[in-house]
Amino acid sequence: MSIRKVPFAIGEYYHIYNRGNSKQKIFLEKKNYNHFLKLLYICNSENNFVLRDIIGESFDCVRGDTLVDIGAYCLMPNHFHILVKEKVEGGITKFMQKFSTAYVMYINTKHKRTGSLFEGKFKSRHLNTDKYLKYIFSYMHLNPLKLINKNWRTSLDKNNPGLEKYLSNYKYSSYSEYIGENRIQSKILYKQAFPNYFSNGDKFKDEIKYWISFGDGIETT
């Protein structure tokens, strides 16, 4: 068994991400995004489940004890980002194994495909400083701007209010939860396990505005 370059420790925070094999899309239609989000919720459990029992977009199920705490996420056409806290020993690894296997089985069955979907094992980065942890909330939620302008970071029109509007309308990230919206996907998150950097939606918006305006060097994946 290979040893991960980034070991996981209980109580520590991690940025988890992966992309499609050869940068191929991992979401082929809207329903794929919604199923992925439902799996984020269902697979975060010590209980097992049967794939055929996952029907519709409802998040109603008995999960039991969770494996990790999820603080944020963002889905892009060919990759994803998840912010997690290791809750129990081996929790992240078990969660990602369950989750990745379930999603690949779903995609292969639904779209009649075979072969690997992801580019190897999921990647992880240890968020070992408060500054790094706070920054990752902006980094993740700003990713969708690349879908309307891949060079938005160096654009002269960075103060365009349309950028913020686009993020608020993007339904495949946890941005909506951080600006105060209450939706079914809110069940995925457990904000209490993370520092309260943003006491309300306006504080979060101010942070995003800052990075849009001044974050020329913001890292992207």
**Structural domains of the chain ordered from first start:** 13-126 (3.30.70.1290), 130-188+195-214 (no CATH)
pLDDT of res. 67 = 96
Task: Determine the residue type at 102.
Answer: A
Average pLDDT over residues 128-154: 91
Q: Crossing angle of helices 130-142/201-214, nearest 10°?
A: 80
Given a cut of 70, whether residue 75 has pLDDT beyond it is yes
Q: What is the predicted pLDDT for the residue at 57?
A: 60
Looking at residue 1, its pLDDT comes to 40
Instruction: Please say if the pLDDT value at position 97 is more than 50.
Output: yes
Kindly tell me if the per-residue pLDDT of 158 is higher than 70: no
- Own/partner contacts of 106-110, CB < 8 Å, gap of 24 or more, are 106/35, 106/39, 106/51, 107/26, 107/28, 107/32, 110/32
Asked whether the beta carbons of 40 and 22 are under 8 A apart, the reply is: no
Q: What is the mean pLDDT of residues 104-131?
A: 92
Confidence label for 41 from pLDDT (cuts 50, 70 and 90):
very high
pLDDT at 64: 84
Q: Is pLDDT at 217 greater than 60 in this prediction?
A: no
Q: What are phi and psi of 4, to 5 degrees?
A: -70, 145
